[in-house]
Amino acid sequence: MDFIDEKIQDYSEQHTSPESALLQRINRDTHAHVMKPRMLSGHLQGRFLSMVSHMIRPLRILEIGTYTGYSALCLAEGLAAGGKLITLDINEELETKVRGHFDASAWGAQIDYRLGDARKIIPTLDDTFDLVFIDADKENYATYYDLVIGKVRLGGFLLADNVLWSGKVLQGKTDKDTKAIVEFNEKIHNDPRVENVLLPLRDGILTIRKVSL
């Protein structure tokens, strides 16, 4: 993930609105007590997620991959009045911690946190989503996209994290995760139903807008 110049990263964060006290606490706690803390969205990406959500003012958000709840809370900041965010994760070990983070926020009542296999849960959802954030196991990115694209409203948005995969997308790597990300990026780029912009923010965020059915 550390392939963007460190000084540029620091400068960008210094000129980005700060995290809330709760998000700072989640950030510190995740790095101190949870495995693979690099999975956390963090300050710069978190403020980007919040900004996008504020621009869209979504009534319904779906997040695939909760981790410790940081990104869900960032996305929830832009929810319209009466809005709801559904976030899915398979890691039961973090449940108590994550629910505590949500309960400590202003959006606890608007967040529907579900544990289980997203591939099985998504087909059961009847909601139409304004915004979807994909940040789970890379091997199933294309599957998640296929399952959810029909549930995104026309003009709605999807964001996919880690699409530069620490620069490995340019290195000809053949491991399954890199291969899955490369194939996912090509799949989106060649899907006539969407417009897409790949942003070199942190580990890469693919921004997708649904323009046709």
98: CATH? 3.40.50.150
CA distances to 8, 46, 145 from 135, in Å: 24, 13, 11
pLDDT at 90 over 90: yes
pLDDT at 3 over 80: no
- CA quadruple 157, 4, 20, 68: dihedral sign: positive
Q: Is residue 135 part of a domain?
A: yes
Mean pLDDT of 151-166: 97
Render pLDDT for 16-43 as a digit per residue (tens, 0 to 9).
999 999 999 999 999 999 988 888 999 9
Assign 99 a pLDDT band (cuts: 50, 70, 90): very high
- Identify which of 9, 14, 37, 2 has the alpha carbon closest to the alpha carbon of residue 166: 2
The continuous run of DSSP H or E covering 207 comes out as strand 205-210
45 neighbors 13 (Cβ within 8 angstroms)? no
Domain hosting 123: range is 6-210
Render pLDDT for 159-205 as a digit per residue (tens, 0 to 9).
999 999 999 999 887 899 999 999 999 999 999 999 999 999 999 99
CA dihedral 132, 134, 205, 201 (to 10 degrees): 110
- Identify which of 187, 185, 121 has the alpha carbon closest to the alpha carbon of residue 148: 121
pLDDT at 2 over 80: no
pLDDT at 1 over 70: no
**Which pTM was predicted?**
0.96
Assign 82 a pLDDT band (cuts: 50, 70, 90): very high
- Give the integer Cα–Cα distance in Å for 29 and 67: 12
Lowest mean pLDDT, pick from 45-59, 97-111, 137-151, 171-185: 171-185
Show Cβ contacts of residue 91 under 8 Å, excluding neighbours closer than 6 positions.
66, 67, 115
Amino acid at 108: G
Q: Is residue 26 part of a domain?
A: yes
Q: What is the domain count for the chain?
A: 1
Q: What percent of the chain has pLDDT over 90?
A: 92
CA dihedral 143, 144, 147, 151 (to 10 degrees): -160
- C-beta atoms surrounding 146 within 10 Å: 13
102 neighbors 70 (Cβ within 8 angstroms)? no
Q: Is residue 1 part of a domain?
A: no
Beta strand 111-115 pairing with 60-64 = unpaired
